[in-house]
Each structure stands twice: as C-alpha cells, then as structure tokens.
Amino acid sequence: MVGRLPHSLYTPLILGAHLVTKIGIVGCAGRMGRMLIREVLATPGCILAGGTETAGDIVGTDLGLLVGTKTLGIAVTADAKALFAASDAVIDFTVPAATKIHADLAAATGKALVVGTTGLGADVLAAVHAASKKASVVRSANMSVGVNVLLALTQKLAATLGDDYDIEIVEMHHRHKVDSPSGTALALGESAAKGRGVSLSSAARRTRDGQVGPRPKGEIGFATLRGGDVVGDHTVVFAADGERIEITHKASSREVFAKGAVRAAAWAAAKAPGLYSMADVLDLA
C-alpha cells in the first residue's frame, strides 16, 4: 500500500514506476462509504484524498478513526468542491440529488467520477452525461466484476436463444433498499433487450397482479423480493418448452462493489472525457 501524503503534495504524481491515483469518497460515513475508504487504503497505487459528508457531528472526524484504523491526518469535510480539487477520481455511492451536484463538480474540475448511485432520474442522468463531456465518468448499476460478467452473458444468451425463450429477471435485496426493481435488475433487462435488438421500455413487464392473461411473446419480466439483510441476489431465467437456463450472481459482501469501484476509479483517472461503464473498465464491451 502506498502511504498517505500531505495535502500539499496532492497533485498528480508517479512513485517509482507506478502511477498513483488519489481517490476521494463522497458520502464517506455511510456503510458503503466506509468500505470504500478501507478498500482505497488497501489497494496498491491508490491514495485516499479525503471524504465528505453533509454537515453534522461526523464532519471533522479523522477518516482513519472513522473506519477503525490508525489516525490518517485527513478529516471528514463538508466541502465537496475541495475534495474534487484534491482528487484524481471521486467515487459516489450516495443519493440522486447529491450525485447531480457531484456530476456538476466533475464537469467543473475535469476530475474523474465513478457513479454507483442507483435510481437516477432524467435530470441526474442529464447531469452525468453533461459531465462526461468534460471528465471521464464511469456509471454502473453494479460495480461487481461478477455482475458485469453476468450482464455480458445475459446479452449473449438473449441474442443466441431468441424470443422462443421467455426472459424473467428475479432480484432480492435487504429490507431497507428503497428502489425497485434494483438498478442491477434493470441493467440486466437492458442487456437482454440489447441482445434481442429491442428497447426495454417496450418489452418490460414489472408487475403482474390479478387476471393478467397469457404471457406475451418477447416480454422481459421482473420479480422483486425484499427481506432480511440480503446484499444482492440476481437471477436471469431463460425458459422455453422443455428446458430452462438460469444464470445467477449472489453477493455475500459489499466488498465486491467497493473493489470494483476502486478499480474503476484508478482506470478512469487515466482516461479521456467520456461516459464509460464497467464493461469498458473490464474490457467486456
């Protein structure tokens, strides 16, 4: 692990033959934010540039103490603009309203942005797209390497099997998740639709209740389950007469999302402005 440098030295640098990426974490006090901090500290070639939270008692707390390690000499701040200035890349797993602000800051500073926030509305997506004209932006509904392999497989199977196979996407998350279907489930639907050469908006069926009639050919269905502390389970079912194919990814720890996000941040910091996905990061595109 590369040691922490004083803030006065937070400029693009190379140590030995290795490029060092300075990574900032917005929403650093949340469960995912703390995990991201730990992952940055544990990743060779990455330096923790800082972390932000909205004003409150947590502001001013040392980031090392926040995650249960030794003191780092970097305090939680409420100044997102300063964090972008100190970073090569910023990771955002917050809420849509905050993501819009961070996208605007990425555009203003030209610093790379990794967006893992889900449930983005049209206004936030527009801000993310605008930011990608000035900075490299990686946006993904799921930063897990395994999930992104699942997305690629879903598109390939949908293209290969055709609409003789009914597609159903089943997802389960913990009881506290607020958006439904999950962003990952919708991304899987987009992959299936792309494989079939159709738009998801025209093929999706999100709910069934009552006398809904026979299943239309070509429909892409979604089923949402919520309960307990499930981190994230996703299954894509391809069902035909006489056989069924199911491909599943189950996350048992949020560490997989943190690992993927930090990998994306280091990758994006060296890229030209543009809107990228984890498929680009992993060379699956």
Residue 166 has pLDDT above 50, yes or no: yes
Confidence label for 55 from pLDDT (cuts 50, 70 and 90): confident
Are 71 and 64 in contact by the 8 Å Cβ rule? The answer is yes
- CATH code assigned to 7-139+255-281: 3.40.50.720
* Residue 1 pLDDT: 34
Any bridge partners for residue 205, and if so which? 221
* Residue 11 pLDDT: 41
CA angle 228, 257, 168 (to 5 degrees): 60
Buried b (16+ CB within 10 A) or exposed e, 25-40: bbbbbeebbbbbbbbb
* Residue 119 pLDDT: 85
Three-class secondary structure of residue 66 per DSSP: helix
**Catalytic pick among 100, 102, 111, 173:** 173
Please measure the distance between the N-terminal and C-terminal CA atoms of the chain and give it in whole angstroms.
30
* Residue 18 pLDDT: 53
Residue 7 has pLDDT above 80, yes or no: no
**Catalytic pick among 81, 177, 194, 271:** 177
In the residue annotation, 259 being an active-site residue is answered as no
In the residue annotation, 249 being an active-site residue is answered as no
Domain with CATH 3.30.360.10 in the chain: 145-251
Residue 9 has pLDDT above 60, yes or no: no
* Residue 57 pLDDT: 87
Residue 6 has pLDDT above 60, yes or no: no
Domain with CATH 3.40.50.720 in the chain: 7-139+255-281
Confidence label for 5 from pLDDT (cuts 50, 70 and 90): very low
Which secondary-structure segment (H or E) carries 226? strand 220-226
Give every CB contact of residue 23 below 8 A, 6+ residues apart in sequence: 40, 46, 47, 48, 49, 87, 88, 89, 90, 91, 262, 265, 266
The answer to whether the pTM exceeds 0.85 is no
Residue with tokens 């990758």: 267
Average model confidence (pLDDT) across the chain: 92
Domain 145-251 in CATH 3.30.360.10: yes
The burial of 12, by beta-carbon neighbours within 10 Å (0-12 exposed, 13-18 middle, 19 or more buried), is given as exposed
Residue 2 has pLDDT above 60, yes or no: no
